[in-house]
């Protein structure tokens, strides 16, 4: 069991995302933190990387790291891109072209065209390009997907997802730079709350139903006057399997702590899950009674079993969900190295196509919001 070699770009000292990725990648002992270009300031990045034990594989820039790692026999197996959003495209593309597997933070790109470019590059390179929609790593979200796939609730009629918090509700704090940039088109692009949070709920809707969003209509509002981009949005959508979708996202919902949740209703049953109680999945068969499916139960799906680490009744949380994305990637990479089929229950990590579709949805939401909720195609051109 030699560990896979893992590198990270970004995630420098004091960031939240860096420790999260180190925790997630290291948690199962499948990856070893081997290389990094952790800061855009070369000296700081090298110094911090060395403190974290990277030795001479602590680089001063992603370009140096690309060159250095490309030149080695024992090059890293996977690189995580956790830099500012506007640089994701360039770095991801470069590493894919150089033959590295990549896990890119969301958003994968700033435009749909760039997203299509990444999809093409990834395909051409034959390398894995994963995107970090980490909430789908929860064991019971995966079980939900498995139940739907095997027909437990019949044809899916409707999905209702939400991601609503109140952490940007304070007008007195709205000019705080840490908050303000998110609502500034120059820095954040065409969308704020939907792009930041709502898209996780939309990806989860696709993930659990196995369907893609085809068109949508959005009502976007800025509840705080000084904001250009939306802090609250309601999105109605349709999916390619005929499912109707509803999605609410908000950053001004005071009293909601996180607010990621999803309900799915089919012809013969309904399912409900929320991140505030991630170890329980509520299921009602048509004509039956509400049941509480508990993480770690006997006889769940293989997808649930491989993503659960402690026995039933002990809570599991987000860091383990996140680690499941890395666990999937470790299996995908190892299977390739060993020339074998990968475990299908691991083949669930989000990929470039998801990053692209998300970008197209963000653009459609922003545009529909401007056009009084006009129904627009939510698909990227290459998938229309």
Tell me the C-alpha distance between 99 and 121, whole Å: 10
Query: Nearest distance from residue 119's CB to its own copies, in Å?
Result: 29
Instruction: Name the residue nearer to its own copies (CB basis): 177 or 313.
Output: 313
Q: Convert residues 322-361 into a mask of x (bound to its own copies by CB under 8 A) and - (unbound).
A: ----------------------------------------
What residues contact residue 188 under an 8 Å CB cut-off, 6+ apart? 85, 181, 182, 195, 196, 229
Binding residue (CB under 8 A) for its own copies from 14, 177, 313, 339 = 313
Tell me the C-alpha distance between 287 and 299, whole Å: 23
Instruction: Name the residue nearer to its own copies (CB basis): 297 or 367.
Output: 297
Burial of 341 (0-12, 13-18, 19+ CB in 10 A): exposed
User: In the window 204-243, what residues touch its own copies (CB under 8 A)?
Assistant: 217, 219, 221, 223, 232, 234, 236
- Between the alpha carbon of residue 81 and those of residues 9, 97, 236, the distances in Å are 5, 15, 31
User: In the window 12-41, what residues touch its own copies (CB under 8 A)?
Assistant: 16, 19-20, 22-23, 26-29, 33
**169 near its own copies (CB under 8 A):** yes
User: In the window 50-79, what residues touch its own copies (CB under 8 A)?
Assistant: 51-53
Half-sphere exposure (Cβ direction) of 334: Cα atoms closer than 13 Å: 16
**123 near its own copies (CB under 8 A):** no
Residues in contact with its own copies, counted by CB under 8 A, come to a total of 88
| Residue 87 DSSP SS3 | helix
Binding residue (CB under 8 A) for its own copies from 166, 187, 377, 382 = 166
**279 near its own copies (CB under 8 A):** yes
Neighbours of 371 (CB within 10 A): 12
**3 near its own copies (CB under 8 A):** yes
- Between the alpha carbon of residue 102 and those of residues 7, 57, 78, 98, 142, the distances in Å are 10, 18, 6, 11, 22
Residue 351 is classified by DSSP as B
**257 near its own copies (CB under 8 A):** yes
Instruction: Name the residue nearer to its own copies (CB basis): 132 or 279.
Output: 279
Stretch that binds its own copies, among 59-67, 112-120, 308-316, 326-334 (CB under 8 A): 308-316
Tell me the C-alpha distance between 300 and 347, whole Å: 17
Instruction: Name the residue nearer to its own copies (CB basis): 61 or 274.
Output: 274
**294 near its own copies (CB under 8 A):** yes
Query: Nearest distance from residue 333's CB to its own copies, in Å?
Result: 18
**381 near its own copies (CB under 8 A):** no
**302 near its own copies (CB under 8 A):** no
Binding residue (CB under 8 A) for its own copies from 255, 339, 340, 344 = 255
Please answer whether residues 309 and 295 qualify as being in contact, where contact means their C-beta atoms are separated by less than 8 angstroms.
no
**311 near its own copies (CB under 8 A):** yes
Residue 90 region, left (φ>0) first, then alpha (ψ -120 to 50), else beta?
Answer: alpha
Instruction: Name the residue nearer to its own copies (CB basis): 123 or 267.
Output: 267
Query: Nearest distance from residue 141's CB to its own copies, in Å?
Result: 12
Query: Nearest distance from residue 316's CB to its own copies, in Å?
Result: 4
What residues contact residue 149 under an 8 Å CB cut-off, 6+ apart? 210
- Between the alpha carbon of residue 203 and those of residues 49, 261, 294, the distances in Å are 33, 12, 23
Binding residue (CB under 8 A) for its own copies from 105, 303, 316, 353 = 316
**178 near its own copies (CB under 8 A):** no
Tell me the C-alpha distance between 180 and 342, whole Å: 44
Instruction: Name the residue nearer to its own copies (CB basis): 101 or 256.
Output: 256
Binding residue (CB under 8 A) for its own copies from 208, 253, 352, 376 = 253
The secondary structure element, H or E, covering residue 336 is: helix 318-338
CA 219 to chain centre: 23
Instruction: Name the residue nearer to its own copies (CB basis): 115 or 269.
Output: 269
Residue 366 is classified by DSSP as H
> Tokens 């475990």 belong to which residue?
343
Stretch that binds its own copies, among 115-123, 142-150, 265-273, 330-338 (CB under 8 A): 265-273
């Amino acid at each position: 069991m030699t560990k896979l070699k893992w590198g990270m770009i970004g995630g420098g000292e004091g960031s939240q995302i860096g420790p999260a990725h180190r925790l997630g990648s290291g948690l199962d002992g499948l990856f070893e933190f081997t290389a990094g270009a952790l800061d855009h300031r070369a000296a700081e990045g090298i110094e911090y990387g060395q403190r974290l034990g990277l030795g001479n594989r602590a680089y001063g820039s992603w370009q140096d790291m690309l060159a250095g790692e490309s030149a080695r026999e024992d090059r890293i197996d996977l690189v995580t891109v956790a830099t500012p959003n506007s640089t994701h495209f360039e770095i991801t593309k470069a590493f894919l072209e150089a033959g590295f597997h990549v896990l890119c933070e969301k958003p994968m790109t700033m435009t749909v065209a760039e997203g299509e470019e990444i999809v093409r590059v990834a395909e051409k390179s034959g390398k894995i390009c994963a995107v970090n929609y980490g909430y789908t790593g929860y064991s019971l979200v995966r079980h939900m997907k498995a139940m739907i796939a095997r027909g437990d609730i019949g044809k899916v009629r409707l999905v209702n997802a939400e991601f609503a918090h109140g952490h940007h509700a304070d007008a007195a704090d709205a000019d705080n730079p840490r908050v303000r940039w998110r609502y500034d088109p120059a820095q954040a692009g065409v969308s704020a709350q939907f792009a930041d949070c709502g898209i996780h709920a939309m990806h989860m809707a696709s993930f659990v139903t196995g369907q893609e969003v085809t068109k949508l209509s959005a009502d976007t509002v800025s509840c705080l006057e000084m904001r250009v981009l939306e802090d609250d949005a309601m999105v109605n959508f349709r999916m390619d399997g005929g499912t109707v979708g509803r999605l609410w996202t908000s950053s001004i919902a005071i009293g909601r702590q996180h607010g990621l949740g999803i309900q799915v209703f089919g012809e013969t049953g309904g399912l409900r899950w929320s991140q505030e109680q991630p170890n329980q999945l509520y299921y009602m068969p048509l004509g039956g009674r509400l049941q509480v499916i508990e993480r770690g139960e006997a006889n769940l799906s293989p997808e649930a079993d491989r993503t659960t680490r402690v026995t039933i009744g002990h809570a599991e949380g987000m860091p383990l969900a996140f680690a499941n994305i890395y666990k999937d990637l470790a299996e995908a990479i190892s299977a390739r190295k060993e020339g074998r089929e990968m475990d299908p229950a691991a083949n669930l990590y989000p990929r470039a196509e998801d990053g692209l579709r998300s970008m197209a949805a963000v653009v459609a939401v922003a545009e529909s919001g401007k056009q009084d909720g006009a129904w627009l195609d939510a698909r990227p051109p290459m998938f229309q």
